[in-house]
Amino acid sequence: MSMLVQSGVMLIGVFIAMFMSCWQMALTVVCSLPIMLIIIAVTFRYALPLFNKNQEVLGEVNAAVEENYSGQLVIKAFNAEDRKIEEFQKKNTLLGSILNKSQGAGSLIEPAMSFVSYITYAAVLIVAGLLFSRGTIADIGVITGFLVYVSLFQEPLAQIGQASSTIQMGTAACNRVFNFLELPELDDDSSKKAMLDHTKIRGEVEFRDVCFGYDPKKLTITNFSGKIKPGMKVAIIGPTGAGKTTLVNLLMRFYEITSGDILVDGVSIKDMSRRELREIFGMILQETWVINGTLRENIVYNLQNVDENRLGEILRETNLSHYVSTLPQGLDTEIQKESALSAGQKQLVTIARAMTENAPMLILDEATSNVDTRTEILIQKAMDSLTSGRTSFVIAHRLSTIKNADLIFVMKDGNIVETGNHDSLMQLGGLYSEIYNSQFG
């Protein structure tokens, strides 16, 4: 910026001095100015897309480096070093090619400006010779001084031309940042008043022609409709990528639906604040998490005055009581989230946390995926107790966990293709029976 300001001031000063010295030669110099500006504009227009592409490919190369570095054990385990090296070399070669083109386009400005400068010198000398021969200019020193002005006039333009390459690189990089910053933010709904009395929630949920797509032009869920009565245990199954977890994320407003509506006890979730909506549901997700702290803090989390007897019952129901008894300080033993618990134990802690929360409705997304079959049977009893009398949504690949569901939604490609309970769907002989028989056939 300092160079641009300095060059701008220099141009204005020299421009005034040239017209004060000899306006005829000054006009000759000014005629070269549009040519120089055109060169800068054309180069900028051609090079900027290349610099944008360069930033995009650079991001892909950096992502590949990070992915290969962090996942090197997996790459070695599957003997995929050669394939990964080949993939990286392709991206890196493409980056080099685009970088050469963009830098080459940016480098053309300086020689092009120098060429125009030499032509300008020649034109000024021709005009000066004509004026001197006619006696318009009496002193040869005026011509000599004017050539110095020409040099001073061309210098800041050349500096601007050189800087344009840096400006283009910066512009390309800024575009990626500003595209991110310009993404629409979630509306602030913290001022919305509560729409439901949480002590009297019945648990009726209705999906009305729900459509959703990460890209609004490419819908992954289309015209999804269904009504869940209070207290029902609803299972959602289907192949990977069918839209099961996405459907739950829409219910919780982690994603906003593209069109349609979802109602809880007759109230649209759009009219409820996100905080109110999420306080209605207890969630047990496939991705477990614990915090650095005591085991008690991990289970109770932000709840106050949890009854110790009830906490003991939860530990027994989730098969955690034996593990707690082996800890030196029981529930008050400090644990570290990185290494203290196995994947199965983390999942048990997550289930215990949901039981402690005692929310009026439940969402279980592959809640037993990290436990062994014997522990799964024990947890299933706890789940049945937990879901009793509550509207619950269960996403499962192990169909043994949802045989007793009141309603089963079978999804494929974002649509419900079958609806019913276990027995009726088995009699139907469709996708559900195909998946079930593949597991238990």
Residue 62: give its domain's CATH number.
Answer: 1.20.1560.10
Domain CATH code at residue 289: 3.40.50.300
Domain encompassing residue 254: 205-440
Helix boundaries (H) for 182-307: 244-251, 274-280, 295-300
Rounded to an integer, what distance in angstroms lies between the CA atom of residue 396 and that of residue 439?
A: 13
Last residue of a domain, one of 130, 146, 181: 181
Cβ atoms of 391 and 281 closer than 8 Å? no
| Residues 216 and 344 reside in one and the same domain | yes
In a domain, 194, yes or no: no
Name the DSSP letter for residue 53.
H
What total of structural domains would you count in the chain? 2
Query: 149, 181, 213: which is the final residue of a domain?
Result: 181
Question: What distance in Å separates the CA atoms of residue 2 and residue 299, rounded to the nearest whole number?
Answer: 58
pTM: 0.60
CB 92 within 8 A of CB 68: no
Assess whether 312 and 378 both reside in one domain.
Answer: yes
State in Å, rounded, how far the first CA of the chain is from the last one.
Answer: 73
Same domain, 212 and 251: yes
In a domain, 218, yes or no: yes
- Alpha-carbon torsion 393, 399, 400, 404, what sign? positive
Residues 278 and 424 in one domain: yes
Looking at residue 25, its pLDDT comes to 83
Does residue 199 form part of some domain? no
Q: What is the pLDDT of residue 261?
A: 92
The residues of the chain scoring below 70 in pLDDT are 138, 161-162, 164-165, 337-340, 367-372, 375-376, 378-379, 382, 440-441
Can you tell me whether residue 266 is helix, strand or coil?
Answer: coil
Asked if 323 and 264 sit in the same domain, the reply is: yes
Strand 334-335 to 281-284 pairing: unpaired
200-251: per-residue pLDDT in tens? 888 899 989 888 888 878 887 888 888 888 888 888 888 877 778 888 888 8
14 and 152 fall within a common domain: yes
Model pLDDT, residue 367: 66
Among 181, 196, 218, identify where a domain stops: 181
Exposed, middle or buried, 408 (CB in 10 Å: 0-12/13-18/19+)? buried
Residue 340 lies in a domain: yes
Report how far residue 243's alpha carbon sits from residue 280's, in angstroms, rounded to the nearest whole number. Answer: 22
Q: From CA 168, how far away is CA 43, in angstroms rounded?
A: 10
350's tokens:
């997550």
Domain membership flag for residue 193: no
At 215 the three-state DSSP class reads strand
What pLDDT does 123 receive? 86
Are 154 and 15 contacting, i.e. CB atoms less than 8 angstroms apart? no
Q: What integer pLDDT is reported at residue 81 of this predicted model? A: 93
Q: Are residues 225 and 135 in the same domain?
A: no
Question: Do 110 and 250 fall within a single domain?
Answer: no
Q: 3-state class of 230 per DSSP?
A: coil
Give the Cα-Cα-Cα angle 145, 150, 155 (nearest 5 degrees): 130
Domain co-membership, 168 together with 235: no
